[in-house]
Amino acid sequence: MTLAHTSRATGHASMFAALSIGAVILFADANPAAAFCVENRTQARLFFTARLKGEADKGLIFRRWVEGGNTACGAPRRGPGILEVSVFAAEDSVEGCGDEIAAEGTLRLQEFSQFDNCIWDK
């Protein structure tokens, strides 16, 4: 059985797998531990990247195109922390904008403008 759940606190929708044993129901979240998500609330297809803060030398942990109105999630391989998320109009762009979130958080891009002029919602 799969159930959908929307958190009242955050408004995030999650899918849960439920196992019923008698009167006891156990829920297992389908998302991995310390998962993070980026929501592209613009109309544009944009390229998102993420890395753990302070670990630029270890490379990106997330590289993904996200269509306008869609969400993409990933999981840091090295536990919780702070992520530096960047967004670009093209994969090879130098100019874009970025923000930071907790490794288990969701960052919502409201408006995209190159040169660090994006509007984000956490």
* pLDDT one digit per residue (tens) for the chain, 122 residues: 333 444 444 454 544 443 334 443 333 334 445 589 999 999 999 999 999 988 888 889 899 999 999 999 998 766 668 999 999 999 999 899 999 998 889 999 999 988 888 999 97
SS3 per-residue string spanning the chain: CEEEEECCCCCCEEEEEEEEECCEEEEEECCCCCCEEEEECCCCCEEEEEEECCCHHHCCCEEEEECCCEEEEECCCCCCCEEEEEEECCCCCCCCEEEEEECCCEEEEEECCCCCCCEEEC
Same domain (yes/no): 42, 99: yes
How many distinct structural domains can be found in the chain?
2
Predicted model pTM: 0.70
The boundaries of the domain holding residue 71 are 36-121
Say yes or no: 54 and 97 in one domain. yes
